[in-house]
Each structure stands twice: as structure tokens, then as C-alpha cells.
Structure 1
Amino acid sequence: MAAVSGFIKYSMFIFNFIFWVCGCIILGVSIYARVSKHGQEIINEDTSGVNVFAAVNLLIAVGTIIMVLGFLGCCGAMKESRCMLLLFFIVLLLIAILQIVAGILGIVYKSKFEESFKKNFQEQVKTLVQDGADYEIFKNDLDKFQKEFKCCGLIDGAADWGKNFDKYSASCECTNTTNTDDICVRYMGKLVYKETCGNYIINFLKKNLIIVAGVAFGVTVIEILGLVFSMVLYCQIGRK
């Protein structure tokens, strides 16, 4: 009768206990933000609150999955339950497969994602040439973005502002810049930033793609270790 490895058993328990605690924290904070009066006030401060609610709901789902997965791993290891370990293995395997598929799709459809971004920018540009209170929030947000990241417009630079350029051009103007020839261009008698905010966002995503890929790779390695440990423990319990 083979003995169950104590190293694998307690490694599984410690790892999944930390996993479970992280899931509880994510779930608790997300639910608080979703139902508390203070959280509602923060979300409702912006008209984009619908998107914030969607993000909070996603975090609730993620927290729940992590918490359940950690529970299965902890109890499966300590109780030496083959059923729980098998469920843990299956759920973790499905998550790993989804991550791999998402990574492959991201590589294959990278150019299409960029086109989708640009198409969305084109739709947003239409709001810049219109007047009215309905468009003030978006215009003000872009105004702040331009000032913070030294960019102008979304696609065609300052021209995207259309007839509202004079009204919102202050955040586009080059200020406190030494290399004006490199990052600035003249438009309607004013020196404005050459780079568009659309290009800035796309370039930012490209630059951070390596970091995202590295984190995803690290998570995948941890998941593979979890799969190996759970299956080894499952087999040892069966032999025992």
C-alpha cells in the first residue's frame, strides 16, 4: 500500500488556501462595491456606470470561481478526497485551456483588434464635432487625457475637434516642451501635440503586451503545477 506524499499534500493545501483567501477578498470587495451605498455613489458619479457595473459583476464571477477552486483544492488535499481533487483538476484544466485559446486568438486576430479599436475611435470622433450637453462628459474626459499624456484628437489629431477646436484646444497645445519639433505640429496658428490619443492608446497596449504575456505565462505554469500535483495526489490516494 503506497503512502500519500506529505510534501505534495501540504503544498496543495497551502497554495489553495492562499488561492481561496484571494478569492474571498475579490468576492467580498466586489459585492461591497456592487450593493453598498458608498459603492453606488462612486459608480453613479460617471455616466459610464453601466460599464463599471459590468466590471464589478465580472469580478464577482472571478472571485467566486477562485474561491470554489481553492476550496476544492484545500479540502481535496486534507481530506484526501479523490472526488474533490478530480473536480479541481477538471475546472483548472478548463481554465488553462480557455487561457491558451484566448492567447492563440489574441495572436491570430491581433490586427483585427487594432482595426476594431480604430473603428471605435472613428465613432467617438463624431461626438467631437457636435455640440450639446450629451457630449460634454466625453469631451471633458478626452480633454483631460490629452493634457495628461500629451496627445491630441483620436485619429486625425487636432482636426478631430472640428468646430470645437478653439473651445477645447488648450489641452492640445504644447507646453513645457523642449523638443517641440519632434512632438508638436502647427494647426490653425497654434502649436499642438503631433501624436493622436488613438495612436498613444494602441502603442501603449503594444508596449505592455509583453508584460501581459509574461504574467499569463507565469499563471499558466502555476496552473500546470496545480494540475500535476492534484493528479499525482489523486493517483496516490487511489493506490492507498
Structure 2
Amino acid sequence: MAGVNVCIKCSMFIFNFVFWLCGTIILSVAISIRAGKIGQEILTPGDANLRPFIAVNMLIFVGAVIMILSFLGCCGAMKENQFMMILFFIGLLMILLLQVAAGILATTSKFKTEQALNKTLLINTRFLSSTNENERVFQNAFSELQEKLKCCGLVNGASDWGSNFQHYYKTCECPSNQIPCTKYSGKTIYKQSCFALFSHMFSKHLFIVIALAFGLAAIEVLGLIFSIVLYCQMRKK
């Protein structure tokens, strides 16, 4: 009877090691985003139906599952265990299908998400100009955020603060050596709104996520091929 090809076994081991690294990177990046506060002050206090961290939570789950699957694939390949290889193949196929479903869902729900985001921004912009004491917590948190990100206001710039600008203008102040700056109510402030800056950061991260998703999908297809070939050779052994 033919034995299991050593080259296929080694390829399977290398694949799973790379796959495990991908899972580790996805998990660590997702946890760091989830634990971070940038963007939460902008989005969270508004529409409760808008949950900006659902995708991040899904990435945490996917990263953890990938790490488990890669360990299963390594053990199955090295020990030539057919049951482990079947579990690895099914699990990997489910992850791939989940990615495709998530991509389709993201595409179809884009318009609805944009509507919810615009609604949230409108509500939170009103929070900045509100004189109600209940909104002070949000205003203080946002004031710290704009100082950290070197921006001013949420959507329209300093005018979003309304009469509260005189109270929070110090976190908007733009040093003379910083650009771009602008003038507002006699103060030199950051020209860029925080949401514009946040959108730019989000677009950059989104591009990285899409690139990783395509790369990961290619690796997963390769893993499916390796696992089914290895399983067939185990059956013939």
C-alpha cells in the first residue's frame, strides 16, 4: 500500500504554522481594537441599534477558531489521524463559508449601516452643543478624544460645540507649528473634524482587513486541498 507523501505532510505542517500565525495576528489586532477607546466616544452614545464592534467581536471569534483549527491540522498531519483531518477540513470549510457570508452581509447592509451611522452622528453632534448636565460625561470624553487625535468637533468642526466651545476650546487649540489650523471665535484650532479623521483611519484599517481576508481565503483554499489529499493518502495506506 502506498504511504503518506512526506512532502504533503511537511507542506501541511508549514501551512498550519502560517495559518496559526494568521489566527494569532487577527486575534491580537481585534482584541486591541476592542479594548481601545478611539471611536467609541464618537459612535456608542448614539443609536443603540448601531453596534460598531460586532465585526471586531466576529474577528476575535474567527481568530480563536483559526488557532484551534491549525493545531488540529498539525496534529492530524503529524500523527496521520484521519478523524482529525476530517474535523480540520469541516472546520476550515465552515470558516471559509462564514467569511463569504460575512462579505455578502456587509455588502447588502452597507446602506442601512450608513443610515444608522448618520443618525448616530446627528444625535451625538447635538450632545456636544447641549447645555444639559446629563451630557457632560460625553462632552468630557469627546474633549479628551479630540485633544488626543488633534481634531476639533464631530462633523462640522468647532461649530458642533455651539455655546459650549468657550468651555472646551483648549482641547481644540492648534499650536502655531501645526497644520492645518483655522480660526474660530478668535481661537486657532484644528481644522479637521474628528469624524473626518476617524473615517480616514477607518478606511486605512478597512483596506488592511480586506487584504487580509483575501489572503486568508487563499490560504484556506490551499489548506482544504492539502487536507483532502492527505486524507485520501491516509485511507490508501
TM-score normalized with structure 1 length: 0.72
Closer/same/farther in 2, CA of residues 56 and 185 from structure 1, 3 Å limit = closer
* CA-to-aligned-CA distance 1:100-135 (integer Å, 9 cap, x gap): 232344345445444433322222223223356654
Cα distance, 1:222 vs structure 2: 1.7
What is the RMSD computed on CA atoms of the aligned residues?
3.9
Cross-structure match for 1:99 = 99
Q: Which residues in structure 2 correspond to 1:73-112 (within 5 Å)?
A: 73-110=73-110, 112=112
TM-superposition CA deviations, 1:11-35 (whole Å, max 9, x none): 32354367669979999xxxxxxxx
Return the offset for 1:88. 0.8
8 Å CA contact 2:62–2:95 kept in 1: the answer is no
Partner of 2:170: 170
**Structure 2 partner of 1:35:** none
SS of aligned partner of 1:96: helix
Q: 1:36-74 CA distances to partner (integer Å, 9 max, x unpaired)?
A: xxxxxxx9xxx99xx9xx999878745652343133212
User: How far does residue 83 in structure 1 lie from its aligned partner after superposition?
Assistant: 2.2
Q: Which amino acid aligns with 1:219?
A: L
Give the conservation status (yes or no) of the 8 Å contact 2:152–2:190: yes
| CA distance 1:56–1:201, change in 2 (3 Å) | closer
Match of 2:208 in 1: 211
**SS in structure 1 at match of 2:146:** helix
Task: Note closer, same or farther for the CA distance 1:149–1:21 as it changes in structure 2 (3 Å cut).
Answer: closer
What runs of 5+ residues in structure 2 fail to find an aligned partner?
A: 28-36, 45-50
User: Matches of 1:206 and 1:56 in 2, distance apart?
Assistant: 15
1:229 corresponds, among 219, 222, 226, to 226
* TM-score normalised over the length of structure 2: 0.73
Q: Secondary structure at the match of 2:188?
A: strand
**SS at structure 1 position matched to 2:120:** helix
Return the letter of the residue paired with 1:10: C
Residues 16-165 of structure 1 mapped to structure 2, 5 A cutoff? 16=16, 61-62=61-62, 64-110=64-110, 112-131=112-131, 134-165=134-165
Partner Cα distance (1:95, 1:133) in 2: 47
Letter aligned with residue 73 of structure 1: G
* CA distance 1:10–1:99, change in 2 (3 Å): same
- Structure 2 residue aligned with 1:5: 5
- Kept in 1: contact 2:26–2:59 (CA 8 A): yes
Specify the code of the residue in structure 2 equivalent to 1:222. Answer: I
Matched residues, number: 220
User: Whole-Å Cα distance in 2 between the matches of residues 174 and 25 of structure 1?
Assistant: 36
2:190 matched residue in structure 1:
193
TM-superposed CA distance for 1:137, in Å, is 3.9
- Equivalence for 1:239: 236
Paired with 2:16 and 2:158, the residues of 1 have a C-alpha distance of 52
1:207, 1:56 → 2: CA distance?
16
Q: Please say if residues 147 and 171 of structure 1, whose CA atoms lie closer than 8 Å, have aligned partners that are also in contact.
A: yes
In 2, distance between residues paired with 1:194 and 1:101? 40
